[in-house]
Chain A
Amino acid sequence: MSLLSVRNLRVSFDTETGVVEAVRGVSFDLGRERLGIVGESGSGKTMTGRSVLRLIRPPGRIAADEMRFDGVDLITASEPQMRALRGRRIAMVMQDPKYSLNPVMKVGAQLMEGLRQRDGMSRAAAHVKAVEALDAVQIRDPERVMQAYPHELSGGMGQRVMIAMMLIPNPDLLIADEPTSALDVTVQAEVLSILDGLVRDRGMGLIFISHDLRLVARFCDRVLVMYKGKIVEELAAGDLLNARHPYTKGLLNCLPRIGGARVPLPGLDRDAGWAE
């Protein structure tokens, strides 16, 4: 049985100029596997990830024919039920450590907050667990990092702290929203292999949201390509080079290549018809 199944998900925002539909009828199933969601900004990929946790605030509205996680109906679940799921069963790693960590709280306190609140741990036990979590994401000097404020960490370290924080409760599903786009290539490769190892060892499901098709192809089992709130193509990551949809091909071709020809990069054709 699949871990998460989504049927005809719609996210819409009521604005002064009318209703804006950010996600328009997205359906997918996820087992304990790594699923990539790719698209440009505004394609609805982040909104799809956030709706699984029902983290969309009014005036945004979520509607779906079905959205079930491990037998729980996410559409009708009460707010306390959702709270019990968030973090504990489904965790989300946000895009930018600069904006997603509390700037006036030490990293250690942020890591321990959940353990103390949610699991009712003692200070000492929470400290030990937090250090373990930092260790798991290969932070070399966890005790120092525990005492640091977020601005004292580099982007790669901040991102690892966020991953550590999300993995402490051992969730069944991890949603990673552009977890590496703020990072350098070398650090990026490191963070990805950490995520990869954790997902494999713990048998988690993973939704990996990114605008970089190459990254997703290397890292995921299956890829959904989104355009204007719809899935235009679904493929196995290995088949990416055989993509049929012009939008997927466009996303691949607009990237410069080492040793590529010195010609203008092809722009991305956007056909309104693809989103019909």
Chain B
Amino acid sequence: MALIEIENLSVTFNAKGRLVKAVEGVSISVDAQQSFGLVGESGSGKSTILRAICGLAPMTGGAIRIGGDLVPNPRGRAFSARVQMVFQDPYASLHPRHTLDRTLSEPLSIHGIGDTDKRVMQALSDVGLPQSFRFRYPHQLSGGQRQRVAIARALMLSPAILLLDEPTSALDASVQAETLNLLNRLRTERGLTFLMVSHDLAVIDHMCDRVLVMQNGRAVEELSRQALASAQMKTDYARALFAASADRMLEP
């Protein structure tokens, strides 16, 4: 049975009386320990799907099931212990006036998990940050280090599912490589399931087993990794996206 099942999901926003259909009838199914990618240009609704799963965007139609059960509304603690999200911009997603210690221990205290001291230290070393960083503030860290903190925070409750919203698009190429390696290592070590959003096909290809190409809130085409690598797209849009990918730029 699939761990994440999304059936006919629709998200509609009401912007000053004008209805904006951000996601229309998208269905996804991701097995446990799989890695699934969502790709498309801005405004294609890929991030909105992740936000709808977490309850950050209003679902107006369809169903989301995690492990066979419909997600409750509001999501509640059991949900957050199972599903966590890493956001795009590490400059905006960490509280600027909380130390890393406070950021990392907050989920523990909300969920009444003890042993804070040891768990925070362990979390820092798991994502490859020195333990001397524990009482630093986000502004004292580089972009790549901040994204490591965001990943550590998401893993504090040992979730099974990680929703990754463009986790490396704000980072330099070399720091991106380090962050992707870290995510892959954590996935193998902990048997995590990834649902990852990116606009970079090369990143998705490196990280994911399957990918869904989206445009204007609709699913365009689902591709396996093999089909992507051998350029066997059926739709024009997926092919255009493939051709525009920066990765293709070195080809003569």
Contacts and interface: CB of A to CB of B under 8 A. Distances in A.
Nearest to B174: A268
Nearest to A259: B229
A205 B201 CA distance: 32
A99 to B, nearest CB: 11
Nearest to B249: A218
A154 B41 CA distance: 12
A83 B152 CA distance: 48
B168 to A, nearest CB: 10
A155 B205 contact: no
A266 B177 contact: yes
Interface in A235-276: 240-241, 250-251, 254-260, 262, 264-268
B228 A184 contact: no
Interface residues of B, number: 37
A81 interface: no
B174 A250 contact: yes
B206 A154 contact: no
Contacts of B202: 255-258, 260
B43 interface: yes
A257 B173 contact: no
Contact of B177 (A156, A254, A258, A262): A254
Given A212-B246, A214-B250, A187 B174 contact: no
Contacts of A258: 201-202, 205, 228-229, 242, 245, 247-248
Which of A217, A256, A257 counts the most B-chain CB atoms under 10 A from its CB? A256
Contacts of A85: none
A259 B205 contact: yes
Contact of A154 (B42, B184, B247): B42
Interface string B84-95: 000000000000
Interface string B127-166: 0000000000000001100000000000000000000000
Given A41-B143, A185-B199, A259-B205, A217 B173 contact: no
A214 B241 CA distance: 16
A217 B142 CA distance: 27
A154 B250 CA distance: 28
Interface string A216-230: 011000000000000
B230 interface: yes
A266 B247 CA distance: 16
Interface string A153-186: 0111000000000000000000000000000111
B246 A185 contact: yes
Interface string B191-205: 000000001111101
Nearest to B142: A41
B180 A185 contact: no
A264 B181 CA distance: 5
A22 B247 CA distance: 30
Contacts of A212: 173, 246
Contacts of B180: 256, 265
B43 A251 contact: no
A214 B205 contact: no
Contacts of A267: 174, 177-178, 181
A237 to B, nearest CB: 10
A82 to B, nearest CB: 31
B110 interface: no
B19 interface: no
Contact of B199 (A184, A211, A251): A184
Contact of A251 (B173, B178, B228, B242): B173
B240 interface: yes
Interface string B17-44: 0000000000000000000000001110
A259 B249 contact: no
A90 interface: no
B131 to A, nearest CB: 21
Interface string A184-207: 111111000000000000000000
With a 10 A CB-CB cut-off, give which of B230, B240, B249 has the most chain A CB atoms. B249
A259 B224 CA distance: 11
A40 B203 CA distance: 18
A241 B205 contact: no
Given A215-B246, A241-B250, A257-B202, A184 B41 contact: yes
Contacts of B177: 254-256, 265-268
5 contacts: A187-B42, A258-B201, A258-B245, A259-B228, A266-B177
Given A256-B203, A258-B242, 10 more contacts: A185-B201, A186-B241, A211-B173, A240-B250, A256-B205, A259-B205, A262-B206, A264-B185, A265-B180, A267-B174
Q: Lowest 4 A-B CB distances belong to which pairs?
A: A259-B229, A256-B206, A254-B177, A265-B177
